[in-house]
Amino acid sequence: MNLARWVLLATLMTGSPPAREADMWRKDGVLIPDRPNMKSERGFGAQLFLTASEQFFDDWEKPQTPHLPLLTDAERNVPFFTVIMFVNPQLDGGGKAHVTCDITVRKPDGSIYGRELNVSGWEGPYSTPANHLQLTTGGMGIRIEPHDPPGTYVVEVIVRDNHRKVALPLKTTFTVSE
């Protein structure tokens, strides 16, 4: 996926539309409703993806738009990563954002495979322009071991704008073959 498409999604409506529409994502000027991996509320938005590309994280710091190859099928013993992005966190009086994430990975039977709580999304001075996506500073690496069960795993992330008191529950899945 070309990240430029998703940067367009980060453009939240402005002006005085109906309250709920103000919180919706846009693509090419068209409103897009929330999806399990992409939500917004009260001006704050977040997105969740999975990738096996470590290069994406290096490329994020470059001026060119990075390419984000999405992962839907995980290979055993091959690490992959959560990609958590957010837009428009509320800043405190000192211009600082405070975004955190809780990340849970569930096995096909629903039991917890891994969990990391209070992962840093962004803490401190924030100068990203309004309506531009920002990659979280933290995330989770995942690796499926040879003995782990096959099936569909669920990744759940709660992205919190702690100043605004908004929590966005996001979800995506990946599949592990026999």
Count CA within 13 A, CB hemisphere, residue 113: 23
Say yes or no to pLDDT of 140 above 90. yes
The span from the CA of 82 to the CA of 115, in Å, is 12
Say yes or no to pLDDT of 19 above 50. no
CA dist 165 → 19, 41, 44, 46 (Å): 18, 10, 10, 14
CATH number at residue 138: 2.60.40.3880
The span from the CA of 21 to the CA of 30, in Å, is 11
Domain count, the chain: 1
The span from the CA of 39 to the CA of 112, in Å, is 23
Kindly report, residue by residue over 73-129, the tens digit of the pLDDT: 999 999 999 999 999 999 999 999 999 999 999 999 999 999 999 999 999 999 999
In the chain, the amino acid numbered 94 is G
Provide the whole-model pTM.
0.87
Across the range 12-40, mean pLDDT stands at 67
Owning domain of residue 94 = 3-176
